[in-house]
Structure 1
């Protein structure tokens, strides 16, 4: 038996969940900008209370490790590590894009196409990867600038479902009858449950002291223009 606290803060969604043996039993989330720092610990306390759990009852803590928002990932990972240190529980890191794809596949019964989760980076750039219906990686995680030539080869013979907050801005560039776009939110801690349980059973734990988010790109600070 495995009871896991799950945290997702890689995008504008702030999400916390409790899973039992791979099934979500409590969830609290809100999709809004700049709420993670003030809301995450409150969401965690709420799902713990709803599940009737104390921190000592947890078997592990899982966190969405990226790619995604630099600030959001820092908040999520630092919170997860703090809980792990405090109650001496193992830490599980979950690839954010894989988690999104797993969430989509859970809603698409008998789906035989590819799934392409996209996290909005800036302008026409996205953090993305490509998976088949078995969650096998077809194209690795990358930062990709989307244009009319993107995924031409893959779309020739297969349907691709583009999901995530980066997908909808690409629907005017990716023009194919095999391309489908979803505005549903797949950045949810609930979509982590199966992956976290599988990792727990493999004893696939992170080194809590040295674990860092997977940013994919360096954080860039834009300086304000000097006022005259």
Structure 2
């Protein structure tokens, strides 16, 4: 740059001394300026190339760093994506294994129809209380009703008195409860011969027998 300035000053002195015409001065001045511009451009290009060469390692490091970082992000995303699918498949497999197997519906068991013996009704009337039979009469009565075991003895108190009744049979006196006026008293029929007695007077009222009947007869 300093050489160009010196050359311009020399040209100016030559023009002043009349050694160069104005046209020659302008031509040589233009040539010097072109040389100066070319030198500046060449120096700028050299400086840029040198700076580029010096920073090449840093630029390569930055490129490799961000490239590897991008690859790591992609790999992590793929890992979590596949892991999510794997966990869901394992969970579904565990659910299928632990789920109870469907229990086949069993055929309904046939319903067994059990015949329930009908209740035998004994009615105690006011006339019966007024004129009760004796023990001998009841024992000798050929028309004493016979029941099947498991049936029900139903006693209807058709009087206006409260009766305290019992079953006398099998050498045992078994109280069966209090029968209110117009009330009903039930007791199961057990094997044996029995008399329904009024515990207030120890008076027999009715008699019946209980047998172990075949199923067809019940």
TM-score range for the pair, normalised by the shorter chain length: under 0.3
More helix per residue: 2
The structure with higher relative contact order (CA 8 Å, sep 6+) is 1
Larger radius of gyration: 2
